[in-house]
Amino acid sequence: MAKITFIGAGSLVFTKNLVRDLLTFPAFEDCTIMLMDIDEERLGFAKEAVNNIISAGGYSSAKAETTTNRAEALKGANGVVSTILVGDLPVWRTDLEIPKSFGVDINIGDTRGPAGIFRFLRTVPVMLDICRDIERYCPDAVFLNYTNPMAMLCRAMQGETKVTVTGLCHSVQGTAAMLAKWIGAPIEEITYTCAGINHQAFYLDYKWNGKDAYPLIREAVQNRPEIYNEEQVRNEMYLHLDYYVTESSGHNSEYNAWFRKRPELIEKYCTHGTGWNPGEYALTVKNAERKRSNWKNQLMAWRDSPIDLKRGNEYASYIFNAVFGDHTLFQFNGNVRNFGLIDNLPEGACVEVPMLASRQGLSPIHVGPLPDQLALLVNTSSRCEELAVEGALTGDPRKIFHAICYDPLTSAVLSLAEIKSMVDQMFKVNQDWLPQFKHLS
What is the C-alpha to C-alpha distance for residues 236 and 158, in angstroms, rounded to an integer? 34
Contact 41, 32 (CB under 8 A): no
CA angle 247, 250, 255 (to 5 degrees): 70
> For residues 302-339, b (16+ Cβ closer than 10 Å) or e, as one string?
ebeeeeeeeeeebbbbbbbbbbbbeeeebebbbbbbbe
d(CA 274, CA 233): 7
CB 137 within 8 A of CB 73: no
Q: What are the angstrom distances between the C-alpha of 389 and each of 148, 150, 158, 340? A: 14, 12, 12, 20
Instruction: Tell me how far apart the alpha carbons of residues 105 and 103 are, in angstroms, rounded to a whole number.
Output: 6
Confirm if 409 and 111 have CB atoms less than 8 A apart: no
Number of neighbouring beta carbons within 10 Å of residue 189:
12
- Residue 439 among known ligand-binding residues: no
Question: Virtual CA dihedral for 282, 117, 145, 19, nearest 10 degrees?
Answer: -10
From residue 269, alpha-carbon distances to 96, 281, 319, 381 in Å are 19, 15, 37, 21
Q: Could you give the CA distance from residue 398 to residue 356 in angstroms, rounded to a whole number?
A: 38
Q: Which of 336, 435, 347 is nearest to 393 (CA)?
A: 435
How distant is the alpha carbon of residue 334 from its chain centre?
10
Q: Pairing state of beta strands 200-208 and 190-197? A: antiparallel
Task: Give the DSSP H or E segment for 41.
Answer: helix 40-57
The residue among 327, 318, 334 whose CA lies nearest residue 360 is 327
- Would the annotation count 169 as a binding residue? yes
The residues assigned a catalytic role are: 170
Nearest to 22 by CA among 322, 329, 299: 322
Under 8 Å between Cβ of 347 and 75: no
Flag whether 148 is marked binding: yes
Judging by DSSP bridges, how do beta strands 3-7 and 79-82 pair with one another?
parallel
Q: Which residues are annotated as a binding site for substrate?
A: 148
Q: Which residues are annotated as a binding site for Mn(2+)?
A: 169, 199
Q: Which residues are annotated as a binding site?
A: 148, 169, 199
